[in-house]
Structure 1
């Protein structure tokens, strides 16, 4: 169980719906999982682009009238927009602890560690634009329940978070795209090399198959080989 929670789950945000992905990620980080979300600029939002842009521009106008530097703070990077969406689904300010029957604990006030559940959950979440090292060489997952192609009708309009962020002030769209192209070229070369090595490995196994047949049978009997 401990290994399951120590393992970092890497999600590829491209092609996912913003709210659905954020809801699933929020629940999982609350449960204790560590999650990294890459390619946040490829996240989709249902509804046409112009409508979503107007909504975000209206959001940008919300500020403290006398001293805007005190907040609320409006992020422009797609990764931070997604992070803020997840934060809105977490009890990052509330102080709550749960209790049940024999395991029930009651306190006057709310002592640690029960006072920082939402904050601790946010610390287990990392978000990125593009796919930086070392995550570019690791397996990435998707969340089927949040994929646009699964959840949104083909005729429905949608907006891409990267374009929306760019039009409200994000300055690194071109840089991120350039770095992504370089990453894809490196990944292509790495995969070609991997296929060659895999082919040679299979050939080597085939060459010695007859010599190690008796050992293979013994290992299969004890369940070492399947």
Structure 2
């Protein structure tokens, strides 16, 4: 019976509008939904917010980009530059991805989009109130801004 409930829950995706959400809090809420068996689609990933000064975020991410393998760069960590792939990797880190098969299955139910695709326009979009930014938007940096600086070309 529990497997039938899971099938019923995964028919329609939960569409989350990621505009003005803090990245980590959004990721943890989405990871929780994925663990419960829901299909989740994130839209407007370029409008996700990072807290912290813009210059410090850029400096930290550029330092991360310098990490690679001494033997062959393709063996090193993959450095994503698109907002949808960065948030997908962030959510993957909050799932039991390498420990359990259920984490891999949960990660396959996630879809992230830049902007809002036509096929999801008719769905109701939800937002997590606890993950929304509290201060004015000038105190945060959008993921789109950060990605453009580190090499994302739209």
Q: TM-score, normalised by structure 2?
A: 0.90
Of 126, 129, 133, the match for 2:111: 126
2:140 pairs with 1:158? yes
CA distance in 2, matches of 1:157, 1:28: 28
- Structure 2 distance, partners of 1:140, 1:36, is 10
Residues 73 and 12 of structure 1, relative CA distance in 2, 3 Å threshold: same
Residue 76 of structure 1: which of 70, 76, 81 is its match? Answer: 81
The aligned residue for residue 87 of structure 1 is 92
More helix by share: 1
> What is the Cα deviation at residue 89 of structure 1?
0.9
The runs of 4+ residues in structure 1 deviating greater than 6 Å are: none
Q: Secondary structure at the match of 1:134?
A: helix
Cα contact 1:47–1:156 (8 A) shared by 2:
no
Q: How far 1:66 moved relative to its partner? A: 1.0
* Unmatched tracts of structure 2, length 5 or more: none
Any idea what the Cα deviations from partners look like across 1:120-140, whole Å, max 9, x if unmatched? Answer: 011010001011120123221
Task: Show the counterpart of 1:136.
Answer: 121
* Equivalence map 1:198-209=2 (5 Å): none
Greater Rg over alpha carbons, structure: 1
Q: Cα–Cα, structure 1 residues 11 and 155, in superposed 2: closer, same or farther, change >3 Å? A: closer
* Equivalent of residue 151 in structure 2, options 169, 173, 182: 169
Is the aligned partner of 1:23 residue 2:28?
yes
Higher relative contact order (CA 8 A, sep 6+): 2
Gapped runs of 5+ residues in structure 1?
96-115, 173-226
What pairs with 1:1-226 in structure 2 (closer than 5 Å)? 1=5, 2-95=7-100, 116-148=101-133, 152-154=134-136, 157-172=139-154
Rounded to whole Å, the distance in 2 between the matches of 1:16 and 1:50 is 20
Q: Deviations over 1:11-31 (max 9, x none)?
A: 011110000000111111011
SS of equivalent to 1:41: helix
User: Quick check: 1:49–1:160 contact (8 Å CA) kept in 2?
Assistant: no
